[in-house]
A and B are shown apart, each in its own frame.
Chain A
């Protein structure tokens, strides 16, 4: 653990950007939670960019966890040598996602009912439970790593994280896929999309955020393979939507969504960080598109109020919640790097 961190370490361009994001996004989040409503929502379009932010960050964290668990189980040195850094990344991203989610839930104190009055038929209940367990497992692993305690628990914990993380990503897809009566939300395909998008964004995040090493090479390989798979899935979806006879389906996939992943596949070795960043944006685009499109068709009486098909564009407060979620994740990852790593990263 590192104790000689000085004030100078916080006077860097990255920290100034993070602080600006925390202040601007935090102000919007607090206002939304306690004073009034700023988001571009209504009673028919309820899950907008703040929820997309949660899903984006939670899935990216899941991807990092999955890659780390794979490394621990397969005893891949390239990954296991960076266990602590990857744990810090996964925890930071998950807490960034939870922060974004908190701003859009009505009543944080009532979250206790998730424990006291559980409903196992609800995918959201499973999602909340699995991500809570995931956070606890990651925290336990981090504490054990910081104390230098390795041994008999490592493998069971790695398997536990792998299974919980995969189940959590699949459950996020089920939150949308189990909805009935909305033409753009249906089926197990969405669970496949969330699981693969977790791997793509998690691998890309490692390439983007970690210094070049055997780890980024392994993550780059995973990124390219999963990007190819993701592009294939998107192509299937584009073809399906082109031929779909489902009444009222708007379709959320576009052929242009394949571009970031094909670029990554072909050109990653030339500009890994730029292409990882583009890949992450591509994943955000896909997740945003399917989550929003599923709600655009007004159901029943709401068509009278909002029109048969709504249009949505995030407003500035919603965009600032995306900034807030990313800033919280970045702050925690930076803090972890500065205080918890034996080798400190250079100040940036």
Chain B
């Protein structure tokens, strides 16, 4: 058993709903995106090509961040294949950041969500950020998702890294990661990629997907299928009758 994600480039419309959903679900600080993007423009007019590649931690099987971490704060969960992080063991050495070839780990140089600690009111009669936080019972920010806190602190401490967990707190409840549920075009599929009979494995078998920077030997668990081609706009990813959405 090992989770993996398949992203169908033909179906992805580059709306960034995944990025926003991740931010809300995981309460990431300003400037941190666990789910982000690479954009590439290539070619010469009129044959110009624009690519939007949704990115996140690839939960690599052969994860350089895990090998480099001196304290096992970054570790592989062998049950699920996820690369997870224990903030308590993290000493802030940033070796994981330097060693991750995908640039998906962020470092909390300061205590995050500080602006929610301010007591100043913008105008008389308004809530101050602190009052809003106290009123809502939120952690870090009024919309800090308490569910997140079941497997990873809602507010990660200063001096610690943070990154995508494939929404492990949702997986234990049988839910898909928030980015998968938020995708309006069904471009993201999630499941047991180690099981050859799973939906995700069948998609990879059918379309022959590829991970990012595979030549480095990291064995990423996020696989991209079908480069976008306008001429195959109406071609289904799966044979008729199979589920097209998340």
Contacts and interface: CB of A to CB of B under 8 A. Distances in A.
B106 A181 contact: no
Contacts of A303: 38, 103
Nearest to A295: B98
Interface string B88-115: 1111111101111111111111100000
B81 interface: no
A113 interface: yes
Sort chain B's interface into a size bin. Answer: 35 or more
Sort chain A's interface into a size bin. Answer: 35 or more
Contacts, number: 136
B36 A301 contact: yes
A300 B101 CA distance: 7
Nearest to A51: B94
B72 interface: yes
A101 to B, nearest CB: 9
Nearest to B100: A299
Helix, strand, loop or mixed for chain A's interface?
A: loop
Given A301-B103, A304-B37, A105 B93 contact: yes
Contacts of B97: 43-44, 46
A122 B69 contact: yes
Nearest to A294: B98
A301 B38 contact: yes
- Among A105, A106, A295, A302, the most chain B Cβ lie within 10 Å of the Cβ of A106
Contacts of A245: none
Contacts of A302: 103
A119 B91 contact: no
B103 A107 contact: no
Contact of B91 (A37, A41, A107, A299): A107
A149 to B, nearest CB: 35
30 contacts: A41-B109, A43-B31, A43-B32, A105-B93, A105-B159, A106-B108, A106-B158, A106-B160, A107-B157, A110-B88, A110-B89, A113-B91, A117-B73, A118-B70, A118-B71, A119-B72, A122-B69, A123-B95, A124-B68, A124-B69, A124-B70, A124-B93, A124-B95, A178-B68, A181-B216, A300-B102, A300-B104, A301-B36, A301-B55, A301-B102
Interface of B: 31-33, 36-39, 55, 64, 67-73, 88-95, 97-110, 157-160, 212-213, 216-218
Interface of A: 36-37, 39, 41, 43-44, 46-47, 105-107, 110-111, 113-114, 117-119, 121-125, 128, 175, 178-182, 185, 294-295, 298-305
Given A113-B71, A300-B104, A301-B38, 4 more contacts: A36-B110, A106-B92, A300-B55, A301-B102
